[in-house]
Structure 1
Amino acid sequence: MTVARFRSVVLDCPDPRALARFYAGVAGGVPEDDDPDWVVLQVPGGGPRLSFQRAPGYAPPEWPRADRNSQQFHLDFDAGTTWEEVEEAEKKVLALGARALHADDKQDFRVYADPAGHPFCLCRIDPI
């Protein structure tokens, strides 16, 4: 028996509208930004929403630190089944304003920071 239905992942940031536009470019959808301090992005496909809230004094996480300002979670995005697809996705997220943090072709993911500094991964997935 579940207690509640999963609704949103909420990211603190200095500019909710800008970060929502970044993730709309990554995952699709149109930000609902009637409130400059709280913006919602419903990702196509019926998954949970991404929400962005203004956080005064926001300090971005430092990846891969564990002592202070460490990431508390990250988002994973399936970028395709081949490295060519991941590399094409990488070009697009970098053009949107992401920053590369870690790439290792021996692993099935690459790590980036969004414009507010939150880590996220582009993952190569095995075909089913």
Structure 2
Amino acid sequence: MAVAHVKVIVIDCPDPTALARFYQQVLGGEIENEGRRWVDLHLPDGARLAFQEAPGFVPPTWSPEHSSLQQHLDLGVTDIESAQERMLALGARPLDLDDDGGKRDFRVYADPAGHPFCLIRP
């Protein structure tokens, strides 16, 4: 029997509203508490992401061989090429786009605050 369930995933960042808006464009949903130190994004499937202002925020360093990312989001997409184009237009930064000619089912990006995330093929 489970002891708990995930209520919200909280992401530290320098600008909670800006990062919530980025993920709203990526995932949909409704933003609550805009302009505050804690901003919620209620996703269409009922999940919730929260963005918390973190003074002195330092983004993770992308170098999987030399550091721990500790956590990241895997986002499923149906068409990785068009999703990539949209992500880059929204302000994502490419970190590792070498998918070995389509043999690897993911590509890695950083959101505008520097958190890594992956786009995953079905």
TM-score scaled by length of structure 2:
0.90
The C-alpha deviation readout for 1:20-64, integer Å capped at 9, x for no partner, is 000000011121125610001111122x31110000000000112
Structure 2 counterpart of 1:43 = 43
Structure 2 counterpart of 1:72 = 70
Q: What secondary structure does 1:77 align onto?
A: strand
Q: What secondary structure does 1:111 align onto?
A: strand
CA distance in 2, matches of 1:66, 1:114: 20
C-alpha contact 2:33 2:39 (8 A) present in aligned 1: yes
Structure 2 counterpart of 1:108 = 105
Runs of 4 or more, structure 1, over 6 Å off, are: none
Moved more, 3-12 or 16-25: 3-12
CA distance in 1, matches of 2:81, 2:13: 27
Count of paired positions: 119
Identity percentage of aligned residues: 55
Structure 2 counterpart of 1:57 = 56
1:23 equivalent to 2:23? Answer yes
| Unpaired runs of at least 5, structure 2 | none
Structure 1 counterpart of 2:81 = 87
Q: What CA RMSD, in Å, does the superposition of the two structures yield over aligned residues?
A: 1.5
CA distance in 1, matches of 2:9, 2:37: 16
- Name the amino acid aligned to 2:86: K
CA distance in 1, matches of 2:77, 2:111: 16
The C-alpha deviation readout for 1:61-120, integer Å capped at 9, x for no partner, is 01125656x42100011111xxxx111001111111100000123310010000000000
Counterpart pick for 2:92 among 88, 94, 98: 98
CA distance in 2, matches of 1:78, 1:60: 23
| Unpaired runs of at least 5, structure 1 | none
